Amino acid sequence: MRGFLVLRVVAKLLMPFMLVFALYVQFHGDYSPGGGFQAGVIIAATMIFYALIFGLPVARQLVPEALVETMVALGVLIYAGVGVAGLLLGGNYLDYFVLAHSPVHGQERGIFWVEVGVAVTVSGVMLKIFYMFAGRQRSAEDE
Amino acid sequence: MNVAGHFSYWVTILLMVAGLYIVIARGNLLKKLIGLSIFQTSVYLLYIAPGKLIGGTAPIVSPAFKVYSNPLPHVLILTAIVVGVATLALGLALVVRIREAYGSIEEDEILAADRDGGDQE
Amino acid sequence: MIVIVLLSLMAVLTFGIALQRNLYAVVVLSGAYSFLMATALVALDAVDVAMTEASVGAGISTVLLLGALYLCGGEEAKPLTRPWLPLAIALVIAGALVYGTLGLPAFSDPTAPIHTHVVPRYLHDALRETGVPNVVTAVLASYRGYDTLGETTVVFTAGAGVIALLRRLRRRKDGEHKA
């Protein structure tokens, strides 16, 4: 794919827009269709697109394996952490009412952090699975 | 019994049964996984079609609209879609490992290899 | 109506997937099927679900299937016997299910039980209690937050499972590789 000039130039132009769109879907998910899952998948799709055009080793340099594996676990930790924060601030587990000075603000803050956790895990897992499938060599006894 | 009223259910059943047929009638492991994913998508349709109200709109509250389609199936199916792709990824990883261990992804060849070569393992 | 056209196209595609033996063609057809499903979901007012189905079903699933296909080989073997028994089983199950759906409420019936109990409360109070106009996000993240925690854990487990299955340990003991 590296020899095709049009593909490389268009990919480099499109990628920032794809990432901004993913962030838009994430943060505007309260007012329009969207949310954590869709944003996480779009981020992973952007990185997969990059890996398809420029090659897997270059993509691995841009987003290293250690970072992706950390993201996989970090999202679940953020989500569970919001629950524990609810516990520490005096309410039940995953209680959003106590997270801020008023219940409605607490709900908004809780929903925000929960969706961030979901997006981080989903994008990490999808990208990691792609790395594992694409990075595996065909076994020697194949044609 | 009203054809227009039940058409969505019948198409759902058709897709479900087609997915089930692919799973039980075809021996190729990859095709079975695709059949399983068709089965899962038909279940999404089964949940979401009854929630739709003609004349309603998407469940995003706004002062301009009075009637909304039912948001509860949407939530359940969002979870189901993500779990479905997780299952597909794990299934595909297993198929890749089976291919490397047996050299084939056809069900009869794998069973034959197990039956014949099982004693010498 | 558009939903009828889309659903009929999806049924036709499913027959194509069942009968086609070249697996690359099957993967492309399943990607097209996911796109049609996403369009049908938009016509049914399920916009969040449509976005997720389009990105996950038509995007990620197709990429993963192509990756697995590259590692596994692209042709399905011809079946040795005609599959009459599975076809008969499938038709019997279809008949039983059709009989079962005769008692279900018709399409877009406002008095169906699905629109009672908890849903009017969600639609009425979600904006006031959570400050979020998108009722699906409010229910997903706040009213049913535990389910979403479970789902995130399932995604994490799938990632961990794929890592465990496909990892290559580069250990050289007596000249042997552990795959």
* Separation of alpha carbons A132 and C8, rounded Å: 37
Q: What is residue A15's predicted lDDT score, i.e. its pLDDT?
A: 93
- Per-domain residue ranges for chain B? 3-117
Same domain, C118 and C70: no
What tokens does C17 get? Answer: 């997937």
Residues in chain A with CB shorter than 8 Å from the CB of B93 are 132-133
Q: Kindly indicate the confidence band of residue A142, based on its pLDDT and cuts at 50, 70 and 90.
A: very low
The residue length of chain B stands at 121
C80 HSE (CA, 13 A, CB side): 5
Nearest to B51 by CA among C107, A38, C122, C73: C107
Contact residues on chain B for A32, CB-CB shorter than 8 A: 60
Residue A1 is predicted with a pLDDT of: 54
Residue C162 lies in a domain: yes
ipTM: 0.90
- Total length of chain A: 143
Q: What's the pLDDT at C177?
A: 45
Band of the pLDDT at B6, cuts 50, 70, 90? Answer: confident
Which whole number is the average pLDDT over B35-50?
A: 92
Of C22, C57, C75, which residue is a domain's last?
A: C75
| Average confidence (pLDDT) over B5-10 | 85
B3-117: CATH topology: Helix Hairpins (1.10.287)
Q: Is residue C155 part of a domain?
A: yes
Q: Give the residue from chain B lying closest to C9, CA to CA.
A: B11
Subunits with 3+ C-beta pairs closer than 8 A to A: B, C
Q: Residues of C numbered 48-107 whose beta carbons fall under 8 angstroms of chain A's beta carbons: which are they?
A: 48, 50-52, 55-56, 59-60, 63-64, 67-68, 70-71, 73
The domain of C48 spans 1-75
Which stretch of A82-91, B1-10, B64-73, C63-72 has the lowest confidence by average pLDDT?
A: B1-10
pLDDT at C176: 45
- Does A79 have pLDDT greater than 70? yes
Give the total number of structural domains in chain C.
Answer: 2
DSSP one-letter code for A102: S
Contact yes or no for B92 and A133 at CB 8 A: yes
Cα→Cα distances A76→A80, A87, B105, Å = 6, 17, 35
Q: Kindly report the backbone phi and psi dihedral angles of residue A96, in degrees, each rounded to the nearest multiple of 5, phi listed first.
A: -90, -15
Q: Does C42 lie at the interface with A, CB-CB under 8 angstroms?
A: no
Residue pLDDT, tens place only, B55-110: 888 888 888 888 888 899 999 999 999 999 999 999 999 999 998 888 888 888 88
* C116, closest residue in chain B (CA to CA): B70
Reported as a pLDDT band with limits 50, 70 and 90, residue A90 is confident
* pLDDT (average), residues C34-61: 92
Q: Is residue C165 part of a domain?
A: yes
Smallest CA–CA separation between C93 and chain A, in Å?
A: 34
pLDDT of residue C125: 87
- pLDDT tens readout for residues C88-119: 999 999 999 999 888 888 887 778 888 888 88
